[in-house]
Structure 1
Amino acid sequence: MKTSILESLKPDIIVEMLEMAAAFENWRRVMETADILYQCVLHIYEDRQYHKAMELPIPHVNLERPLVYYFGLSHLMCGMAHQHQGAYEQARECIFKYAELGWMEDLKGEDIQVVEEFRFLAKTNLYAVDILSGNIELIEEYVAFLQDNLEEILPGLNTILQAALMYRLDVGDILHTLAEQIDEFESYEDVENVSYYYSYCYHLALYNRKCDRLQEAGKLTVRAMHLANQSGNDGHFKRCTALFESLREFATAEQISEYRQILMQCLDEYETGSHTS
């Protein structure tokens, strides 16, 4: 990318674009935007190093976070995109890049804290990639890691459920072990955890369907559908609708009623939006 273009870009605006692409699960766009972010902050870093070497005043760039954060995020998001596409080796390569950001010069204070945060994320995400790529013997060790890091249990259970679906595993004992923490998921309100909770409900519904616990699968699907509607994610909502239709003949009257209520709510919202537009 040309230097003139890089100089006109704002890292924090690119981060917003990156988060939006991830929210819509546009993984090709995520990778493209992550690369733009990387090229942009690399230009800023090299420009700073040049001015320092030439004993010139360091140019100021308005950033909401330390520069090292943007390097880490670019690799993290690219790795996440590869993981969601099943490209686990490429995801692993990205993880190694943000596992060690200490190569940057002049790191201090807040910078070092950011480096440590990405090092921790690399550890937990490497577990996920290794397990999803078939190293299921790591699951027991991963569960112990999650119990020591309770904030990672919700995304961690998503990984375990996906592995259970991919490799036909029985993870009932794990769900029982973490039941106390699972009970807290419904109280989460921030956007990231609501998204993780949707994913957990959806994958647990699929897991229960495979185990022939069809009414439990229906209950979880309705819950996932409600969360998808709450977050305005049409892709998630369509998946839930298709899944519930596959379970409809086994659903309870209460589940069918709740399912219809969610659909009617969507219709009302659509009509209201059409009238105001």
Structure 2
Amino acid sequence: MRTSILKSLKPDIIVEMLGMAVAFENWKKVMETADILYQCVQRIYEERQYHKAMELPIPHVNLERPLVYYFGLSHLMCGMAHQNLGAYEQARDCIYKYAELGWMEDLEGEGLLVVDEFRFLAKTNLYAVDILSGNIELLEEYVAFLQDNLEEILPGLNTILQAALMYHLDVADILHTFAEQIDEFESYEDAENISYYYSYCFHLALYYRKYDRLREAVGLTVQAMHIANQLGNDCNFKRCTALFESLRESATAEQISEYRKVLMQCLDEYETGSHTF
């Protein structure tokens, strides 16, 4: 991308664009936007280093966070996109890039904290990629890691359920281990955790369907539908609808009534203009 274009871009605006692309699970757009963010902050960093070397005043760029954050985020988002597309080697390469951001000069205070945060994220995300790649012998170690880092349990269980579906694993004991924390998932209010909770419900429904716990699968599917509608994610809503229909014969009258209620809520929102399809 031309320097003149890069100079006109604002990193924090690009971060907002990344968030929207992730919300709609447009992984190609996530990778494209993450690359633009990387190029943008790379230009800023190189310009700063040039002015420093020439003993010129450092150009001021209005940023909400330390510059190192944007480097880390660009690699993190690109890795997330590759992981969701099943390209685990490419995801691993991205993880290595934000695992150690200490190469940047003039890191201090908040910048050093950001480096540590990305180092931790790299550790947890490398577990996820390795397990999804088929290294299921890491599961026991990963469970111990989650027990020491409770804030990672929800995304961690998503990884474990996906691996269970991919590699035909029985993870009932792991779910039991985190039963107390699982009871708290529904109370989460921030958008990121709500999104993770949708994924947890949906994948657990698939897992229960596989093991013939069909009524539980139906209940989780309806719960996932509620969340998908709350998030305005029509693609996920359609997935839930398809899953419910595959389980309809096992649904109770109460579950069917709840399912119809969610559908009518969507129709009401469409007719009032508060939701668009």
Q: Tell me the TM-score normalised to structure 2 length.
A: 0.98
The match for 1:47 is 47
Counterpart residue identity of residue 238, structure 1: K
SS in 1 for 2:273: helix
The match for 1:57 is 57
Distance 2:18 2:71 in 1: 13
The match for 1:4 is 4
Alignment of 1:1-277 (within 5 A): 1-273=1-273
Distance 1:9 1:32 in 2: 14
In the TM superposition, what whole-angstrom CA distance separates every residue of 1:180-238 from its partner, at most 9, and x where no partner exists?
Answer: 01001011011000000000000000000000111010000000000111111111100
In the TM superposition, what whole-angstrom CA distance separates every residue of 1:134-188 from its partner, at most 9, and x where no partner exists?
Answer: 0000001000000000000000000000000000000000000110010010110
Distance 2:28 2:232 in 1: 21
Q: Give how far 1:273 is off.
A: 1.1
Distance 2:213 2:188 in 1: 26
Unpaired stretches in structure 1, ≥5 consecutive residues:
none
SS in 2 for 1:65: coil
Distance 1:175 1:22 in 2: 27
Unpaired stretches in structure 2, ≥5 consecutive residues:
none
Q: Give how far 1:272 is off.
A: 1.1
Distance 1:22 1:191 in 2: 12
Distance 1:215 1:47 in 2: 60
Q: Tell me the TM-score normalised to structure 1 length.
A: 0.98
SS in 2 for 1:60: coil
Distance 1:27 1:190 in 2: 22
Distance 1:83 1:228 in 2: 21
Identity within the alignment, %: 86
Counterpart residue identity of residue 49, structure 1: Q
